[in-house]
């Protein structure tokens, strides 16, 4: 499977990632798919590089079929995936560069370098996840929807004396809170390379703590987050709901960090007061942060986002195409990326020029018809497929045969409608906190691959997106 040039392979991989962002839970995507790199393809073989052996095994076991299907769908050809560890690729790259120096020839780069002369540490924090190389302040498009969050994040990163050492970024998925959080890490490591920056999700924090207890290394775990951390970037704090022991350890670590004047950034889809089953001790620590909301971008900001991303990837897209995409794709930044890379990829594969017809053919599979999908439609569809009545799904009963359909219906209502969560909860005769718990429960159930809940959700999503309800 030859793609002709490096740009085509990169465009294909970007399109695969953009598609999977919308298919997978946010935390699953960031943990398993986002760290992968795809820079090689020969014959019918595509090589994906994982940052470590553990990640490589988990991706092979749980996501290899999904990745193959997406690549095949985009290229129209059958491929075979091969997984390697990134260190092997780095050694090969280093060897190639050394050979180039010896022969006096310039060796071609495998992928574009976006590091902008920042120290290597800026992209490999001392612990936790890798920072995305493109999630910097320079690459963040500022608009009226996010200007305060941007200013607060930049102020925290550059040590301006505001007296505020912790920041709580809140938004729906795909609006830039992860970008700003990681931009803070990049900026700090660029200015002060020896600062100890930890970027981690709440779920990873929990797993690390459990591992420490099981291996009798809890003292090292406590020391790491209490006395060996200068900057803590903690994503998806709402996933700590109900995890009492983790909440205790985190609250104690935050006390140490705040007393030592360290910097902390939290991200979440919910306000601290709206996260259910959260200890008052931890809730009070979170609420003391400067809380900044990020709203969906307006039309002019969406245009600037698309132009910035197109330029950054070396493409010149006609203004009419950019404005068409900005007008049709209004959900979030992630949706904009999916549309943009879809247009670029289809144009490259077909050898066709950019046109409105081409753009229309791409976005028809992206835009959800939310005007025709209501909470009532979702409720009836779920009841029909689980063979229960609409009276059952809103009842007070906690029988498992009713709880799971109810949770899935709330999850789908959140995904496919513009209704606020408080309104959705009333449709199901539930409290706001219960609706949040339902969404988290479904996301947790589908995160590990092809379990029954994921299959049920995928089936119902297909029904909704095809209008077959």
The 10s digit of each residue's pLDDT in 164-192 is 789 999 988 888 899 999 999 988 888 88
Model confidence at 232, pLDDT cuts 50, 70, 90, reads very high
Mention every residue, 6+ apart, whose C-beta is less than 8 A from residue 141: 297, 301, 304, 305, 308
Mean pLDDT over the full length of the chain: 80
CB atoms within 10 A of CB 469: 16
Rounded Cα distance, 2 and 411, in Å: 41
> Is the confidence at residue 14, as pLDDT, over 50?
yes
Question: Of 179 and 66, which is predicted with more confidence?
Answer: 179
> Is the confidence at residue 322, as pLDDT, over 80?
yes
Question: What sign results for the dihedral spanned by CA atoms 304, 310, 313, 317?
Answer: negative
Q: Which two tokens stand for residue 364?
A: 């028809």
Return the H-helix or E-strand segment holding 200: strand 197-201
Least confident piece of the model among 67-81, 121-135, 375-389, 427-441? 121-135
- Radius of gyration, alpha carbons of the chain: 23
Least confident piece of the model among 110-119, 123-132, 200-209, 255-264? 110-119
Q: What is the pLDDT of residue 382?
A: 92
Q: Which two tokens stand for residue 33?
A: 């798919």
Q: What is the mean pLDDT of residues 75-95?
A: 67
Q: What is the mean pLDDT of residues 291-313?
A: 89
What percentage of the chain has pLDDT greater than the value 70?
Answer: 83
> Is the confidence at residue 216, as pLDDT, over 50?
yes
DSSP secondary structure, 399-438, as one string: -HHHHHHHHHHHHHHHHH----HHHHHHHTT--HHHHHHH
Q: Which one-letter DSSP state was computed for residue 31?
A: I
Return the H-helix or E-strand segment holding 302: helix 299-312
The 10s digit of each residue's pLDDT in 71-84 is: 888 877 788 888 88
Mention every residue, 6+ apart, whose C-beta is less than 8 A from residue 51: 35, 85, 86, 130
Q: What is the mean pLDDT of residues 403-423?
A: 86
Rounded Cα distance, 21 and 69, in Å: 15
> Is the confidence at residue 112, as pLDDT, over 70?
no
Q: What is the pLDDT of residue 105?
A: 37
Q: Which two tokens stand for residue 350?
A: 């077909």
The 10s digit of each residue's pLDDT in 236-270 is: 898 888 888 989 999 999 999 988 989 999 999 88
pTM: 0.58
Q: What is the pLDDT of residue 254?
A: 92
Model confidence at 39, pLDDT cuts 50, 70, 90, reads low
What percentage of the chain has pLDDT greater than the value 90?
Answer: 13
Q: Which one-letter DSSP state was computed for residue 209?
A: H
Q: What is the pLDDT of residue 405?
A: 92
Q: What is the pLDDT of residue 300?
A: 87
Model confidence at 468, pLDDT cuts 50, 70, 90, reads low
Q: What is the pLDDT of residue 116?
A: 33
Least confident piece of the model among 139-148, 203-212, 415-424? 415-424
Q: What is the mean pLDDT of residues 212-216?
A: 88
């Amino acid at each position: 499977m030859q793609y002709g040039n490096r740009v085509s392979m990169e465009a294909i991989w970007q399109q695969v990632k953009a598609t999977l962002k919308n298919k997978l839970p946010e935390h699953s995507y960031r943990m398993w798919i986002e760290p992968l790199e795809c820079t090689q393809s020969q014959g019918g073989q595509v090589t994906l590089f994982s940052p470590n052996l553990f990640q490589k095994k988990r991706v092979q076991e749980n996501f290899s079929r999904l990745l193959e299907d997406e690549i095949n769908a985009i290229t129209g050809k059958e491929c075979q995936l091969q997984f390697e560890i990134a260190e092997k690729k780095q050694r090969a790259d280093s060897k190639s560069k050394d050979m180039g120096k010896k022969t006096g020839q310039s060796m071609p780069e495998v992928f574009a370098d976006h590091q902008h002369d920042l120290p290597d540490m800026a992209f490999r924090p001392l612990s936790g996840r890798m920072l995305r190389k493109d999630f910097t302040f320079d690459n963040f498009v500022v608009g009226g929807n996010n200007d305060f969050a941007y200013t607060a994040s930049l102020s925290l990163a550059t040590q301006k004396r505001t007296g505020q050492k912790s920041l709580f970024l809140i938004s729906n998925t795909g609006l830039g809170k992860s970008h700003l959080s990681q931009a803070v890490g990049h900026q700090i490591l660029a200015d002060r390379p020896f600062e100890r920056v930890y970027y981690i999700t709440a779920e990873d924090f929990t797993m690390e703590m459990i591992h420490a207890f099981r291996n009798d290394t809890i003292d090292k775990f406590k020391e790491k987050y209490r006395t060996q951390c200068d900057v803590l970037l903690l994503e998806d704090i709402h996933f700590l709901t109900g995890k009492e022991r983790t909440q205790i350890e985190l609250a104690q670590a935050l006390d140490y960090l705040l007393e030592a004047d360290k910097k902390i950034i939290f991200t979440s889809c919910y306000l601290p007061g709206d996260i259910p089953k959260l200890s008052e001790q931890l809730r009070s620590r979170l609420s003391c942060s400067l809380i900044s909301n990020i709203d969906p971008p307006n039309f002019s900001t969406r245009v600037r986002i698309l132009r910035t991303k197109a330029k950054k990837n070396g493409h010149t897209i006609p203004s009419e195409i950019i404005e068409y995409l900005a007008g049709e794709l209004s959900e979030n930044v992630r949706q904009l990326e999916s549309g943009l890379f879809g247009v670029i990829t289809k144009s490259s594969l077909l050898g066709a020029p950019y046109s409105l017809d081409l753009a229309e053919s791409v976005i028809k599979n992206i835009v959800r018809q939310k005007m025709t999908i209501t909470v009532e439609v979702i409720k009836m569809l779920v009841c029909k497929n689980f063979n229960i009545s609409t009276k059952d799904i809103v009842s007070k009963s906690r029988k498992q045969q009713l709880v799971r359909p109810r949770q899935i219906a709330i999850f789908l209502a959140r995904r496919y409608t513009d209704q606020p969560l408080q309104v959705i909860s009333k449709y199901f005769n539930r409290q706001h906190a219960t609706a949040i718990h339902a969404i988290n429960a479904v996301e947790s159930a589908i995160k590990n691959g092809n379990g029954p809940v994921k299959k049920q959700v995928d089936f119902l999503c297909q029904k909704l997106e095809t209008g077959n309800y």
